[in-house]
Amino acid sequence: MAQAEGKLANGAMRVDFATEPARYRHWSLAVDGEIATLQMDVDEKGGLFEGYELKLNSYDLGVDIELADALERIRFEHPQVRVVLLRSGKPRVFCAGANIRMLAGASHAHKVNFCKFTNETRSAIEDASEGSGIRTICVVTGSCAGGGYELALAADHIILVDDGSSSVSLPELPLLAVLPGTGGLTRVTDKRKVRRDHADVFCSTEEGVKGRRAKDWRLVDEVAPHTKLEAMVAERAVAFAATSDRPREAAGIALAPLDRRAGADSRAYTFVSVDYSRADRTATFTLRAPEAAPPDTLEAMVALGSAFWPLQLARELDDAILDLRLNELDIAAIIFKSEGDGEAVLAYDAFLDAHKDHWLAREIRLKWKRVLKRIDLTSRSLVALVEPGSCFAGTLAEIVFAADRSYMLIGRLEGDNRPPPVLALSAANFGAYPMANGLTRLESRFLGEPDSVGKVRQRIGESLAADAAAELGLVTFALDDIDWEDEIRLFLEERASFSADALTGLEANLRFAGPETMESKIFARLTAWQNWIFQRPNAIGEEGALRLYGTGRKPVFDTRRV
């Protein structure tokens, strides 16, 4: 299982996001040809922290860490899988949702990060369908409530057993005085197109909706009696599998454990290192270019497996970002740096682009899409420093475009004999890695000047010095060696002095310009709902619904609308 290992400076346990099937306590993964079954059978005693039991297939962050790991392994280790069946291993209950005792006892920061990670995991299920051709069928037997129904909503198809007791529900409002925190309301309206008045009834009813009404209101896709359920599931699985282009005969690659070396103020991987300056409240992420050229053949790429540079770097960066999010709450800013040969980075981009229809190349680029989105959605100030020796090119240039500020040095620093920094673009910057708003980072950057996207596209492959990068709008500031250190120091000091709450709101608003999508709505609303409703006394006060749930006492509400 995922574990709380070691201790942070404040005495809290550090949550580890690394796991593997042999350590699962809550999920089992079975693969039978092109069909995989993910069965949820939560160990009541297997909570990530003390003070609650995970009854009725309720879940905490540890349960979702296992789910996220299983989904990644299906994508990389089992390329023949075309359909995933989500099922419960417990009688009479599919999933009771997020564990209420856990939520009541968790810090506000943990609640928000928990909800954000579960949102990203459910978005990954949808991304697997759209990008990888892995369809998901959720088979609901028993009560499917709150976060359990939100898990079902991420699937392509929901089948509900019609037995007079099985139901789907989002009871957070009447029971807990909060709202579904994992995209439930948005997926009900935007994805399943449930009528507004039906949604109002559904989301304010504790007992939920059963059988034929659930299908008529589009809350599920099909209902079936027990006697016909398995036949319907098998039939739908075969039909969905026929629509996928996943390779039936390909051999997968093993996702080897990451080599991580943690110190008091550092975290080191093979291609990523993180250095914390706690006095300054900063974390410096350094990403390193590959030391070898890309392989000559697809077979050689597959043979490298998870050691293939783009995949290994993406996995290391993902783990480092998740670790910082949950375990380093006082860090105000992430500083991104890079080291190595930018031409080598471009060569790997060209290799992946040339083989983008191969299942593994596709999965690697989809992994990078998810990791870059994770960075976009991280509530820290992001700054990229393009210095001598940097390799911000192609895929790694996306880090610069994701940053709230970027600084590029003109020329060299005194005593540094490395060549002046350059920035370079590849085809990957123009469509491979869309943000949650459906646009590329360059399209979001130049929303008011669309011609600028065309101008920078014409410079693909060029080594752009600081003046050229600034003129094209690819960096915020180009600075000479006189101003370099002072300007960056002042920015970081300013950032550390601002309200963390206000910065979270500011950055979340500014990063996602342009159109709204279901995904951008989910995360924008999460920021607002969880940072407001979860802090209101009606939910978490001494007489609030979340605190009193299960005690037999009724909550006492402040009835004023604000």
Q: For residue 523, give Cα distances in angstroms to 7, 103, 199, 378.
A: 29, 19, 20, 11
Residue 519 lies in a domain: no
Residue 272 lies in a domain: yes
Domain CATH code at residue 89: 3.90.226.10
Is 316 in the same domain as 237? Answer: no
Is 278 in the same domain as 170? Answer: no
* pLDDT tens sequence across 370-388: 999 999 999 999 999 999 9
Residue 398 lies in a domain: yes
Over residues 415-434, the mean pLDDT reads: 95
pLDDT at 1: 47
By DSSP bridging, strand 167-169 and strand 143-145 are: parallel
Rg (CA), the chain: 24
Is 131 in the same domain as 52? Answer: yes
Q: For residue 253, give Cα distances in angstroms to 120, 129, 311, 359, 481.
A: 23, 20, 11, 11, 46
Is 333 in the same domain as 382? Answer: yes
pLDDT at 10: 47
Asked whether the predicted pLDDT for residue 546 surpasses 70, the reply is yes
Domain count of the chain? 2
Asked whether the predicted pLDDT for residue 66 surpasses 50, the reply is yes
- Quote the CA–CA distance of 141 and 22 in Å, as a whole number: 26
Displacement of CA 420 from its chain's centroid (Å): 35
DSSP state for residue 385 in the 8-state scheme: E
The domain containing residue 498 runs over which residues? 261-510
Q: For residue 126, give Cα distances in angstroms to 84, 116, 132.
A: 12, 15, 10
- Whose CA is closest to 431, among 468, 475, 398, 473? 398
Displacement of CA 86 from its chain's centroid (Å): 19
Is 501 in the same domain as 426? Answer: yes
Residue 353 lies in a domain: yes
Residue 556 lies in a domain: no
pLDDT at 454: 96
Structure tokens at 157: 């198809």
pLDDT at 9: 46
Residue 520 lies in a domain: no
The residues, ordered by sequence, that sit 6+ positions from 191 with a Cβ below 8 Å of its Cβ are 153, 518
Is 273 in the same domain as 166? Answer: no
Is 235 in the same domain as 332? Answer: no
pLDDT-derived band at 12 (thresholds 50, 70, 90) equals low
Query: Which of 8-12, 75-79, 166-170, 531-535 has the least mean pLDDT?
Result: 8-12
Question: Which residue in this structure is represented by tokens 């983008």?
Answer: 356
Over residues 514-537, the mean pLDDT reads: 85
Is 500 in the same domain as 407? Answer: yes
The residues, ordered by sequence, that sit 6+ positions from 345 with a Cβ below 8 Å of its Cβ are 289, 290, 391, 393, 394, 395, 396, 424
Say if residues 310 and 369 touch (Cβ distance below 8 Å).
no
By DSSP bridging, strand 83-88 and strand 93-95 are: unpaired
Confidence (pTM): 0.95
* pLDDT tens sequence across 394-414: 999 999 999 999 999 999 998
The residues, ordered by sequence, that sit 6+ positions from 26 with a Cβ below 8 Å of its Cβ are 1, 40, 41, 42, 43, 46, 54, 59, 62, 63, 66
Which of 472, 495, 510 terminates a domain? The answer is 510
Q: Phi/psi of residue 14, each to 5°?
A: -85, 130
pLDDT at 3: 52
Q: Report which of residues 55 and 531 the model is more confident about.
A: 55
If one counts every other C-beta atom within 10 angstroms of the C-beta of residue 472, the result is 17
If one counts every other C-beta atom within 10 angstroms of the C-beta of residue 255, the result is 17
pLDDT-derived band at 43 (thresholds 50, 70, 90) equals very high
Residue 498 lies in a domain: yes
Say if residues 250 and 359 touch (Cβ distance below 8 Å).
yes
Is 209 in the same domain as 341? Answer: no
Asked whether the predicted pLDDT for residue 436 surpasses 90, the reply is yes
pLDDT at 451: 95
> Within 13 A of 111's CA, how many CA atoms are on the CB side?
25
Asked whether the predicted pLDDT for residue 449 surpasses 60, the reply is yes
Is 226 in the same domain as 342? Answer: no
Residue 559 lies in a domain: no
Helix crossing, 108-127 with 359-376: angle to 10°?
150
pLDDT at 528: 76
pLDDT at 431: 97
Is 358 in the same domain as 422? Answer: yes
Which of 467, 491, 510 terminates a domain? The answer is 510
The residues, ordered by sequence, that sit 6+ positions from 332 with a Cβ below 8 Å of its Cβ are 281, 282, 380, 381, 492, 495, 496, 500, 503
Is 275 in the same domain as 232? Answer: no
The CA angle 540-541-545, to the nearest 5 degrees, is: 60
